[in-house]
Amino acid sequence: MQQLGLGIAITGSGSAVPPTALSNEQLSQIVETSDEWIASRTGIRERHVGSPELSLADLAAQAGEAALSMAALPAAEVDLIILATSTADDLFGSAALIQAKLGASRAVAFDLTAACSGFLFGLVTAAQFIRAGTYQNVLLIGADMLSRWTDWSDRRTCILFGDGAGAVLIQANERDCLLGFELRSDGTQNNCLNLAYQPQAKSVLEGVDLGQGNYQFITMNGQEVYRFAVRQVPEVIEKSLYRAKLTIDQIDWLLLHQANQRILDAVSQRLNVPPEKVISNLAHYGNTSAASIPLALDEEVRQGRVKPGDIIASSGFGAGLTWGAAIFRWGR
């Protein structure tokens, strides 16, 4: 296979959300809240939720198909599929099923879990495979269905999360469009945001005890996550800019994980990025975890706002705790 170079280009994008939207007004019929209360604290007006019949693999495949179509690449030419998700249909992984749904018969496929940072971790992982000359065409999908694991009686968390999928096609390129990145983890803060397994003791034989159970609803210390994000995200973006040999005024767009409008505002203000350069669509989708960055990117591309050659500073942050940033150029 002829190698085009040791760089990468992001050549296509796609996204998909369930058809059912759940508004703040509707949520106020479930828990004690209001549209004004939610919107003023989070910036969210509605979120999309998947039906019992909709699988994560279906949603992810839709986003993947759209990205391949934009790039005019047949699925049979995809070498690798990376699914960034924390809510796979199957605990053993859903990426291979997506490979089958797409007809990407020669592609290797695996899941990657880094919660809301998953898409950026996947982007950097994909770049290493391409830069090493191993693969040329990588389909990266970020998809989550957090409604499955939301406590709909907890107004602190049920107002935040939604379901969605976003995808990008990453291809080998003579000019490297991934200009710089920085990834971080801090397990000492793991308890701030969890979707935890809760074992129950089960005795199978005398003297042989084990734990069996299920995963519990999402729990979050919102104040700690906010403080973590507004402190760490500007720093990691600045480090990525340093690696890219760029300054913040040279970027065209700031694209953050869509968690909370207050976080987006605080980070952009600390970086001195004007509001017109900040991409935000969480009013319509809420926090879709690993899907949020590619979903927002795809909307901006299809609306013609993000154009080929534009430089984007992006950052993901969330459970783990994990966070990271990447500076990349859209297109070849």
The residue written with tokens 């992006």 in the block is 314
Q: Among 3.40.50.740, 3.90.1150.10, 3.40.47.10, 2.40.30.30, name the CATH number for the domain at 180-187+219-329.
A: 3.40.47.10
Residue 64, pLDDT above cutoff 50: yes
The reply to whether 7-176 and 180-187+219-329 are identical in fold is yes
User: Per-residue confidence at 2, pLDDT binned at 50, 70, 90?
Assistant: very low
DSSP reduced 3-state for 41: helix
- Please say whether the beta carbons of 263 and 112 come within 8 A: no
Catalytic residue (choose from 116, 158, 177, 192) = 116
Domain boundaries, the chain: 7-176, 180-187+219-329
Q: Output the CA torsion sign for 196, 202, 204, 207.
A: positive
Using one digit for the tens of pLDDT, what is the confidence trace for 28-46? 999 999 999 999 999 999 9
116 as an active site residue: the answer is yes
Residue 4, pLDDT above cutoff 90: no
CA terminus-to-terminus distance, the chain = 20
Q: Which residue has the higher pLDDT, 293 or 2?
A: 293
Pairing of strands 178-185, 322-329: antiparallel
Residue 83, pLDDT above cutoff 50: yes
Catalytic residue (choose from 24, 137, 173, 287) = 287
Using one digit for the tens of pLDDT, what is the confidence trace for 154-177? 999 999 999 999 999 999 999 999
Write out the two tokens for 63.
């986003």
Using one digit for the tens of pLDDT, what is the confidence trace for 197-229? 889 999 999 899 999 989 999 999 989 999 999
Question: Percentage of the chain surpassing pLDDT 70?
Answer: 98
Q: What is the pLDDT of residue 86?
A: 97
Q: What is the pLDDT of residue 12?
A: 98
∠ CA 231-123-277, nearest 5°, is 55
190 as an active site residue: the answer is no
Has domain 7-176 been given CATH number 3.40.47.10?
Answer: yes
Using one digit for the tens of pLDDT, what is the confidence trace for 277-322? 999 999 999 999 999 999 999 999 999 999 999 999 999 999 999 9
Q: How does the average pLDDT of the chain come out, rounded?
A: 96
- Please say whether the beta carbons of 29 and 152 come within 8 A: no
Q: What is the model's pTM?
A: 0.95
Catalytic residue (choose from 24, 137, 257, 260) = 257
Alpha carbons 218 and 224: distance in angstroms, whole number: 15
